[in-house]
């Protein structure tokens, strides 16, 4: 097995070419010309990829989140599993448009809830009839389902009984009920209970 060695100083290619910034050639006194090769080390570049997650990844992030991850982690795990993709300008534009559309839908739902709350509050009081007992007592109690039925009869609006919160009503009188129409919108309506 023959070994070959290359002497940098005697290499004709190095002697014939001049180098800039990274290589310095020095000339010594006399007839001997010696080339000294000086290499300036550069900082190793970190290989990071900007990605968007296609699904929730444990201990990394939620679906739709932008992140920087190491190139190897993306290439060897996230990409083959279909959990992420590289961010491109087109993808960023699509994400921005989608975020704007979702925000517009949220605002629209909130405005509808505010209008519905205004309708409920301007109605005045919803009247509930119950069979009377002694004094102010009524038989049974007024429930959220009773209020939902009255709202449907008077306003032709379907309301889920789970959004209605009523105090315990076992007597005649006037009460305040709250309808949570939206996380930020709550309608307060009056409920008047009277005996037959």
When comparing pLDDT for 42 and 134, which is higher?
A: 134
pLDDT at 177: 92
pLDDT at 31: 55
Could you tell me the CA-to-CA distances from 95 to 45, 66, 81, 109, 186 in Å, in that order?
29, 10, 22, 21, 32
Residue 144 confidence (pLDDT) above 80: yes
Of the ranges 4-8, 15-19, 62-66, which one carries the lowest mean pLDDT score? 4-8
112/131 Cα distance (integer angstroms): 36
Query: Per-residue pLDDT averaged across 60-88, rounded?
Result: 91
**49 alpha-carbon distance from chain centroid:** 20
110-195 has which fold? Ribosomal Protein L9; domain 2 (3.10.430)
No. of H helices and E strands in the chain?
4, 9
Query: What is the pLDDT confidence band of residue 107, given thresholds at 50, 70 and 90?
Result: very high
pLDDT at 175: 92
pLDDT at 15: 54
Residue 24 confidence (pLDDT) above 50: no
CA neighbours within 13 Å on the CB side: how many for 74? Answer: 17
Confirm if 169 and 175 have CB atoms less than 8 A apart.
yes
144/83 Cα distance (integer angstroms): 44
Residue 20 confidence (pLDDT) above 50: no
Give the DSSP H or E segment for 16: helix 12-16
Residue 166 confidence (pLDDT) above 80: yes
Query: Per-residue pLDDT averaged across 133-154, rounded?
Result: 87
């Amino acid at each position: 097995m023959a070994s070959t060695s290359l002497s940098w100083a005697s290499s004709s290619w190095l002697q014939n070419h001049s180098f800039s910034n990274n290589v310095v050639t020095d000339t010594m006194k006399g007839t001997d010309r010696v080339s000294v090769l000086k290499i300036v080390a550069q900082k190793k570049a970190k290989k990071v990829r900007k990605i968007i997650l296609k699904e929730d990844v444990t201990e990394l992030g939620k679906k739709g989140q932008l992140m920087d991850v190491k190139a190897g982690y993306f290439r060897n795990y996230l990409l083959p599993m279909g959990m992420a993709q590289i961010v491109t300008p087109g993808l960023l534009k699509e994400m921005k448009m989608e975020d704007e559309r979702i925000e517009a839908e949220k605002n629209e739902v909130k405005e509808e809830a505010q209008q519905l709350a205004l309708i409920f509050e301007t109605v005045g009081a919803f009247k509930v009839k119950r069979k009377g007992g002694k004094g102010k007592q009524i038989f049974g109690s007024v429930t959220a389902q009773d209020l939902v039925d009255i709202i449907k009869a008077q306003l032709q609006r379907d309301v889920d009984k789970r959004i209605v919160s009523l105090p315990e009503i076992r007597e005649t009188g006037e009460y305040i009920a709250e309808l949570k129409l939206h996380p930020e919108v709550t309608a307060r309506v009056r409920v008047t209970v009277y005996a037959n």
